[in-house]
Amino acid sequence: MRSTMSCLMALGVNITGQGDVFTVNGVGSEGFRSPDDVLNAGNSGTTMRLMGGLLAAQPFFSVITGDQSLRSRPMDRLIHPLRHMGAEIWGRKNDSLAPLAIKGHRLRGITYKLPVASAQIKSAILIAGLFAEGNTTLIEPTPSRDHTERMISALGIKITRNNKTIELTPSVPEAPIDVRVPGDISSAAFWLVAGAIHPDAKLRILNVGINPTRSGIIDVLLEMGAKLKVDRIMKEGGEPLADISIESSELIGVRIKAGMIPRLIDEIPLVALAGACANGTTVIRGAQELRVKESDRIRTTVTELAKLGVDIEELPDGMVVNGGGSIRGGECKSYGDHRLAMTLGIASLVSQGEILLHDAEAVTVSYPSFWEELERIAI
């Protein structure tokens, strides 16, 4: 959020507020200004890709970069469709990596088949499509997270889905709206797994987003036999949210296939940890997209959990976890990956010895208060 806010403010958007409440004063479709300096997306792939869609439609030149991790993540999948819409974009290594230099133009709507199920790329094209002449149609291989579509619809802009096909008709939003952002289920997932694997736990997490394109962790934990309950379901800004209760559970291993992965992509390290604490074998396939996250999240998850005594095998597109063993202490590292760091933090709740984690501050990317929360519930 902070990286996105910083980029938008550099483009002339006035954002005020503190704590959990912010006010965004829009500048209209033609009010963005050329930034005075290079835009910085930090560690956020979402920021870089969504800003890429916005910048592609602006009548000025801009450059956007990020930290070392983000500069190693693939951007050709963003560049190609935006070029097809009429933007000029360049990047390092034959236009495949950031920093990205973008010269925006008047765009045209396109019909585009996404090569992978990526909510970030889909959202970037839809944002560019808001400024384009003509409709933009996207075809997904598998439905991915649909937060952008829901927000576009909430703003009164026509967007429809028919199975795997999304069609956007560009228009000016009817009016600004007030939105309460649901709690991030990717953050809540750490406490859900903690509650399930700990021998003496009972947790209740309030106001969690349960968007069906995001909530794979709930389905997987239920399949594993977790004592999990969802109640007080409501809706905010087109997004469903609810309270979730979880308690100590006897988990069993499961097989996760490729079709589930887009709904579970950020929680795979946690699923591996849950599998390590379950009876039986957990198999995860079709998750090759994890190779190009903040780290090679398949390899780093396998490597670090193995250090803690987990019987785990790396596959080209996933992993096999043989449960039933114990989590021991050990010395681990996060590779600068916030989700791996938090997974290892949750492992410490059930480990037989101390876990020493290097680069633990990586959690600040998505959950700055994680360690304080962990200490609070561990008392």
Listed by start position, the domains of the chain span 2-168, 185-378
Q: CA–CA distance from 316 to each of 9, 202, 302, 310, 362 (Å)? A: 41, 36, 12, 19, 26
Q: Enter the tokens of residue 310.
A: 């987990």
**Predicted confidence band at 29 (pLDDT cuts at 50, 70, 90)?**
confident
Residue in the block written with tokens 């037989």: 352
Q: 211-266 pLDDT, tens per residue?
A: 999 999 999 999 999 999 999 999 887 889 999 999 999 999 999 989 899 999 99
User: Is the preceding omega at residue 269 within 30 degrees of 0, hence cis?
Assistant: no
Give the long-range contacts of residues 178-181, CB within 8 A, separation 24 or more: 179/151, 179/154, 179/236, 179/237, 180/236, 180/237, 181/236, 181/237
Mean pLDDT on 6-19: 94
pLDDT reading at 81 higher than 80:
yes
As annotated, the active-site residues are 266
- Closest by CA to 108, choosing from 131, 85, 128, is 85
Nearest to 305 by CA among 289, 288, 284: 284
Per DSSP, 183 falls in state B
Q: Do domains 2-168 and 185-378 have the same CATH topology?
A: yes
CATH classification for the domain delimited by 185-378, as one of 3.30.720.110, 3.30.470.10, 2.60.120.10, 3.65.10.10: 3.65.10.10
> Residue 376 belongs to what H/E stretch?
helix 370-378
List pLDDT tens digits, range 310-334: 999 999 999 999 999 999 999 999 9
**Whole-angstrom distance, CA of residue 257 vs CA of residue 259:** 6
Alpha carbon distances (Å) from 376 to 67, 99, 161, 181, 372 = 31, 40, 43, 24, 6
Flag whether pLDDT at 338 surpasses 80. yes
CATH class of 2-168: alpha beta
